[in-house]
Amino acid sequence: MSNSKVALVTGANKGIGFAIVRALCKQYAGDVYLTARDVGRGTAAVESLKKEGLSPIFHQMDINDPKSVGNARDFFKEKYGGVDVLINNAGIAFKMADKTPFETQADVTLKTNFFATRDMCNVFLPIIKPGGRVVNVSSMMGSMALARCSPELQARFRSNDIKEEELVGLMERFVSEAQAGTHEERGWPSTAYGISKTGLTTLTRIMARNLSKDRPGDEILCNACCPGWVKTDMAGPNAPKSPDEGAVTPVYLALLPAGAKDPHGQFVSELKVQPWAKDGAILREILEHSLFNSEKELFSEIRTISADGPKEHASSS
């Protein structure tokens, strides 16, 4: 068994995930694994970084494939005794002009961005080592979507006592009501990507609470973050940030020093803890003070025209 520390990044063959691996290779004192579902693209990404003088390691993993996730868990447990840093970056988003029916978009988007990421966490959290760091790459779009939910839904997502089972039920309800065409009248906004990130940030808060309760002495920190509006395949060419700039906040959370107590269970953007919205005023705050020029512009770029379906979140948030 290796004595090295180890960091694992999902969906890392391009975009923000790739940039996170690059930064970790430069800053992290341990082995850094670039994971991707496609062996060819993942291997090519690793070779590209090796040409920069870096030493990432490739491991195949598709978060939508339970067998793949289980095999990866077994590998890291056997070789390293667990994982020190886990960055859940993999995900997808449909483009604005995609003709796929919204009910299908809701199902497909939440299947990866929420349900598969949740499954990934449930498989890997038991092998996160003491002092470990867990980072879920979420998005400010989740906060925007939350602000558009009904007051009743907002209250549950913001609750400090919401359990994972209730959250899963809410996510399943969104998909079901989207498929029935009743989601708007039941209090949901028409943004599958946004709701998937609302769910992911809420899940992060639950995970952090559970870690504090179940493993109080292990000092594991778990946070969600928004990398910002980043120039990638998924977010479009007009975004102001480069992937390397988008990697700054996720890497900051991954490298929080030993003994740090916070942030934990927080949503972090631009290296700052963001409020998980006490009321709908959060939307105005985001639009007035966020890194995005305007909500309309952001939505257009995050979900711009595409002829080939959803783009991988390996590209953006």
Active site residues: 193
Closest CA to 247 of 1, 20, 9, 2: 20
Pair of tokens at residue 21: 């691996």
- Read off the DSSP letter of residue 313: T
Interatomic CA distance for residues 222 and 212, integer angstroms: 10
Pair of tokens at residue 252: 């900051």
- Read off the DSSP letter of residue 126: G
Give the C-alpha distances (Å, rounded to integers) separating 25 from 6, 12, 270.
11, 13, 21
Interatomic CA distance for residues 268 and 265, integer angstroms: 10
Strands 272-274 and 267-269 turn out to be antiparallel
HSE-CB of 202 using CA atoms within 13 angstroms: 33
Give the C-alpha distances (Å, rounded to integers) separating 101 from 95, 97, 190, 214.
12, 11, 12, 42
Close Cβ partners of 250 (under 8 Å, ≥ 6 residues apart): 16, 20, 87, 89, 135, 137, 225, 227
Whether the CA torsion 250, 68, 83, 133 is positive or negative: it is positive
Closest CA to 101 of 170, 192, 38, 235: 192
